């Protein structure tokens, strides 16, 4: 059956019926510009700006007393943000804390949960993972006096873009101590079946951890229900916390009370922290896995940003995200046949995260042309264009306009004036 042609009337009707229409006004958007890179850095919202301004004002008015007397007391801000984040990942509030970055949090949780002994000495990961996760894994293996070549398993991809859960499960053996995988693959946008992988790992006695960088704020999770042991994430992508915004971590309640692998000042039970004892009394919540003093001004924007998720609901965010990416894929087939584009992301909704992955031999030069034409895309070496239509601030008509600008670039070979090589930051 032939699909109906998508027209401007089609998308305008979708926008008229879209309950997210009002949310677009919450964000700072450039006129006649289409921002498709929210999976790398989300846009500033007015509420995030207000929350940051409040903390700045608290610093100005209260100085040191801001730790307890601020409008949002700094001493408890990490826990409050953790509580506001918990519903996005299906966790109990005390299982979540706002702290660190993905890499520092990974080091913390690997140091806590990776205890190679006997035959169980290996970490199971994949060959498509983001480099920094692999850097952290290798570092932790080496800290145990082991060789990454012998103790890191990276599951291979059959097509260079996606993974098969069956291939991952096949590698789960009695010599594997810990599993660390991305929830969504950063290039292709493939959403892995976290529940299936966690259950398979636990049957083999393997600790299961996930990096939620490309899924938190884009798709719902049920980490506690699924029994995931730990997870980490950043907040500057779909959660719109700002550049370098403080990340977060989750530790399943069955592990709470466990001594953190990397103890620090804010690992403490808050009631005992200022007793100044040299013997740590760890928090009984996920707060135990904090290390240093919270970065207040890089955390505060989340207080405002997360309000939008509470109002919209993560299920509704996911529903619109899927409609936007489906529209983008349909328009690819309608407007761009014969121009050399291949969709490398999964086509099925239940397998796709929040962005669309285009593979093209001239991806780098096409991205440069898109920027010239008022579209902010994302390039990933060697040949991937990622476009992320964000539920809060992307309309259906925006998606049509982006795809028509891409078609114009290809029809008129506008990308040919640019070198097909990445910039300093891709």
Annotated binding-site ranges for pyridoxal 5'-phosphate = 102-103, 130-133, 211, 214, 236, 265, 293
The binding site consists of 102-103, 130-133, 211, 214, 236, 265, 293
Are 292 and 192 contacting, i.e. CB atoms less than 8 angstroms apart? no
Distance CA 33, CA 376 (A): 8
Are 401 and 34 contacting, i.e. CB atoms less than 8 angstroms apart? yes
Between the CA of residue 409 and those of 121, 277, 350, 373, 404, what are the distances in Å? 51, 65, 32, 8, 9
Would you say the C-alpha torsion 63, 67, 73, 75 has a positive or negative sign?
A: positive
Helix (H) or strand (E) holding 122: strand 122-126
3-state secondary structure 219-284: CCCCHHHHCCCEEEECCCCCCCCCCCCCCEEEECHHHCCCCCCCCCHHHECCCCHHHCCCCCCECC
What pairs with residue 379 in β-bridges? 385
Distance of CA 251 to the CA centre of its chain: 17
Question: What is the per-residue DSSP string for 360-403?
Answer: -TTHHHHHHHHHHTTEE-EEETTTEEEEB--TTT--HHHHHHHH
């Amino acid at each position: 059956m032939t699909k109906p042609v998508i027209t401007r009337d089609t998308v305008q009707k979708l926008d008229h019926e879209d309950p997210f229409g009002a949310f677009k006004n919450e964000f700072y958007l450039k006129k006649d510009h289409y921002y498709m890179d929210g999976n790398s850095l989300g846009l500033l919202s007015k509420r995030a700006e207000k929350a940051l301004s409040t903390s700045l004002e608290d610093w100005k008015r209260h100085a040191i007393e801001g730790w307890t007397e601020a409008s949002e007391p700094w001493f408890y801000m990490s826990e409050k943000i953790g509580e506001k984040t918990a519903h996005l990942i299906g966790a109990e509030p005390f299982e979540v804390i706002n702290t660190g970055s993905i890499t520092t949090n990974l080091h913390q949780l690997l140091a806590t949960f990776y205890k190679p002994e006997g035959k169980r000495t290996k970490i199971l990961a994949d060959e498509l993972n983001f480099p920094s996760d692999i850097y952290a894994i290798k570092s932790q293996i080496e800290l145990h006096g082991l060789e990454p070549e012998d103790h890191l398993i990276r599951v291979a991809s059959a097509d260079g873009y996606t993974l098969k859960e069956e291939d991952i499960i096949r590698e789960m053996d009695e010599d594997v101590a810990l599993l660390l995988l991305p929830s969504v693959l950063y290039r292709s946008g493939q959403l892995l079946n976290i529940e299936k992988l966690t259950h398979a790992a636990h049957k083999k006695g393997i600790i299961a951890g996930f990096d939620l960088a490309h899924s938190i704020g884009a798709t719902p999770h049920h980490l506690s229900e699924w029994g995931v042991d730990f997870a980490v994430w950043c907040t500057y992508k779909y959660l719109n916390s700002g550049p370098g915004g403080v990340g977060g971590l989750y530790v399943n309640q069955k592990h709470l009370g466990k001594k953190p692998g990397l103890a620090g000042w804010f690992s403490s039970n808050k009631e005992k922290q200022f007793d100044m004892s040299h013997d740590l009394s760890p928090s009984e919540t996920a707060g135990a896995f904090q290390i240093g003093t919270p970065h207040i001004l890089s955390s505060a924007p989340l207080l405002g940003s997360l309000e939008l998720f509470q109002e919209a609901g993560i299920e509704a965010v996911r529903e619109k995200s899927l409609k936007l990416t489906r529209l983008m894929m349909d328009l690819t087939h309608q407007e761009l046949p014969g121009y050399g584009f291949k969709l490398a992301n999964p086509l099925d909704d239940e397998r796709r995260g929040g962005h669309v992955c285009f593979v093209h031999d001239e991806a780098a030069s096409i991205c440069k042309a898109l920027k010239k034409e008022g579209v902010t895309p994302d390039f990933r070496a060697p040949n991937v264009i990622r476009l992320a239509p964000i539920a809060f601030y992307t309309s259906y008509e925006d998606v049509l306009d982006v795809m028509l600008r891409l078609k114009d670039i290809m029809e008129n070979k506008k990308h040919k004036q640019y070198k097909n090589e990445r910039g300093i930051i891709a």
